[in-house]
Amino acid sequence: MLERFDNYQLLSKIATGGMAEIFLAKHVNSPVNSMPIAIKKVLKQYGNNPMLVKMFLAEARIICNISHENIVKIYDFGKFDDQYFIAMEYVFGQNLGAIIEKLKERDLIMPLNLTIEIISAVLCGLDHAHNAQDRNGNFLNIVHLDMNPNNILISYEGKIKVVDFGIANANYTKKFKDSAGIQGTYAYLSPEQCSGKAVDRRSDIFSVGIILYEMLTGHTLYKQLDNDMAIMNSILNDEIEPINELMPEIDPKLAKIVMKALEKNPNRRYASAMDMREDLQLVYNSLEFDPNSEMLPAFVKKLFPAHFIKMTKIIEQAQTEYLMDELFNNIGELEDLDLEEKKKTEEAARQKEEAEKKRVKKKAFFSRLGLVSGIVAGLAVIALILKFLFVDPDVKVDMITVFSNPGGAQIFVDGEDTGKVTPASLQLEHGKKYIIDFIKDNMIGTLEFTPSSENRQINMQLKPR
Ligand SMILES: Nc1ncnc2c1ncn2[C@@H]1O[C@H](COP(=O)(O)OP(=O)(O)O)[C@@H](O)[C@H]1O
Ligand SMILES: [Mg+2]
């Protein structure tokens, strides 16, 4: 795995372009379906070039204004670690340049229906960009200016997207664009780009015309030329060989479309990408192709099986890691939840137990109390009965009041604890001799006492033991 960059984990380098590197990446903390992402980073050596940085940011701003299925979506742009970057949707597939190269290696050309499908989709995306407006409804007058096969991406699912508005022209980029001179891939420039004249959307139509011509014929128009000057010279001055001469079997209507897009004078070209697309659609419909949406994906996958498998593995691994991360995070959360839940449950169980204990204690206390009071009551009844049956009715009981100094002393009568503390009253038998003891902390007192009519009160002075 490569380094982390801002909020993105870089997974694999896709390409090194003119002034930027492109990486497959994943966002470090977005949901799994936001994956995968492509990160385009300006190479460090260009980070200090204000014009290039401006262009790069202009690209980001331009695509930000555009949302179309045939244009690569941009998610984020900015600067991290002194490097400008764009985060965009990753198109899992190949650029058209690589596809054309592969076909050439095998001496093949793109099937006609797929060629028309691809160019039609590109024209759709471009038309949308050409007509883009700002929030106030003003046309941005965006022109891509670098329409070449490498900037057309075809996914293994058959999606077709235009990328790299890196030198795109828009109202607000015009100033520095003028001072930037010619840019773009030379072999796909329009005559007006080569001569430094004003450009508009029709410049992109010329570039798409070159791509279409090359796809249909399997021959390059300018790419084979030695150097940039020769290319520009040829674009400006050389007549293009009519496509029907090179390809006599070509549908004449299709040949007309190609040559109209390649008119050197913009006024004779299609006025808009949509006009050209409409003509292409008419040809497409008249040729009655088998409408098989699986053909393009199968075709591209077949050309690049190793790349498809390698990248699938990388993406799947990253997605698995993503899922694992999410899973682990969730497990962590669940564990935390679990712990809290456990604590709560334990606390609730403890409180319940405590309450239960208290309840049981209370119950036990009351039942013991009940039992004791029952026994006491029973005994009292028995005593009453016994008293009634056996006690001598002549026995006289005196009420004796008992004080001590200090007070609060336990009272024992004939060695028996009365359960009473001074001051208290005792019922004692008249005329009977008692030994009464007092205990308070380490103070004691004892006396012999016989209740009588004059002797009904005890005042006991306690002494240290
Ligand atoms: N979003 C993307 N998804 C997949 N591949 C991409 C993406 N963006 C760029 N690429 C690949 O990287 C190449 C260079 O990217 P590009 O934006 O055209 O950079 P440059 O400005 O250097 O031409 C493209 O031709 C394409 O193969
Ligand atoms: Mg490019």
DSSP-derived secondary structure for 266-289: GGGS-SSHHHHHHHHHHHHHHTT-
Residue 382 has pLDDT above 60, yes or no: no
Range 365-371 average pLDDT:
53
Active-site residue, 437 included: no
pLDDT the model gives residue 358? 76
Compute, in angstroms, the gap from residue 137 CA to the centroid of ligand 2. Answer: 29
Compute, in angstroms, the gap from residue 70 CA to the centroid of ligand 1. Answer: 14
Residue with more model confidence, 239 or 78: 239
pLDDT the model gives residue 75? 85
Comparing CA positions, the residue from 184, 209, 213, 217 lying closest to residue 277 is 209
Tell me the β-bridge partners of 416.
Answer: 413
Residue 176 has pLDDT above 60, yes or no: no
pLDDT the model gives residue 424? 82
Atom of ligand 1 nearest to the CA of 98: 27
Structure-block tokens of residue 386:
């016994």
- Average predicted confidence (pLDDT) for the chain: 84
Number of the ligand closest to the Cα of 95: 1
Residue 153 has pLDDT above 90, yes or no: yes
CA distance 357 to 337: 29
Tell how strand 8-16 and strand 93-95 pair up. Answer: unpaired
Q: What is the pTM of this model?
A: 0.71
150 lines ligand 1 (CB under 6 A): yes
15 lines ligand 1 (CB under 6 A): yes
Confidence of residue 311 (pLDDT cuts 50, 70, 90): very high
Residue 268 has pLDDT above 90, yes or no: yes
Residues 166/59, Cβ–Cβ less than 8 Å: yes
Compute, in angstroms, the gap from residue 266 CA to the centroid of ligand 1. Answer: 28
Residue 380 has pLDDT above 60, yes or no: no
72 lines ligand 1 (CB under 6 A): yes
Range 287-306 average pLDDT:
91
Give the burial class of 348: count Cβ atoms within 10 A of its Cβ; 0-12 exposed, 13-18 middle, 19 or more buried. exposed
Rounded to an integer, what is the distance from CA 81 to the centroid of its chain?
Answer: 23
Q: Tens of pLDDT along 48-84?
A: 878 777 777 777 877 777 899 999 998 888 888 888 8
Q: Which of 6, 127, 146, 279 is catalytic?
A: 146
Q: How many residues does the chain have?
A: 465
CA distance 12 to 48: 25
Structure-block tokens of residue 166:
């890196």
91 lines ligand 1 (CB under 6 A): yes
According to CATH, the topology of domain 93-305 is Transferase(Phosphotransferase); domain 1 (1.10.510)
Compute, in angstroms, the gap from residue 256 CA to the centroid of ligand 2. Answer: 29
Domain 1-90 sits in which CATH superfamily? Phosphorylase Kinase; domain 1 (3.30.200.20)
Tokens 């056996």 belong to which residue? 390
Tokens 């244009």 belong to which residue? 71
Identical fold, 93-305 and 397-464: no
CATH code reported for the domain at 397-464: 2.60.40.1120
When mean pLDDT is compared across 61-65, 337-341, 377-381, 390-394, the lowest value belongs to 390-394
Helix (H) / strand (E) containing 295: helix 295-303
Residues 124/326, Cβ–Cβ less than 8 Å: no
Neighbours of 448 (CB within 10 A): 8
AA identity, residue 213: Y
For the chain, domain boundaries? 1-90, 93-305, 325-389, 397-464
Range 206-226 average pLDDT:
96
37 lines ligand 1 (CB under 6 A): no
Residue 384 has pLDDT above 60, yes or no: no
CA distance 159 to 377: 98
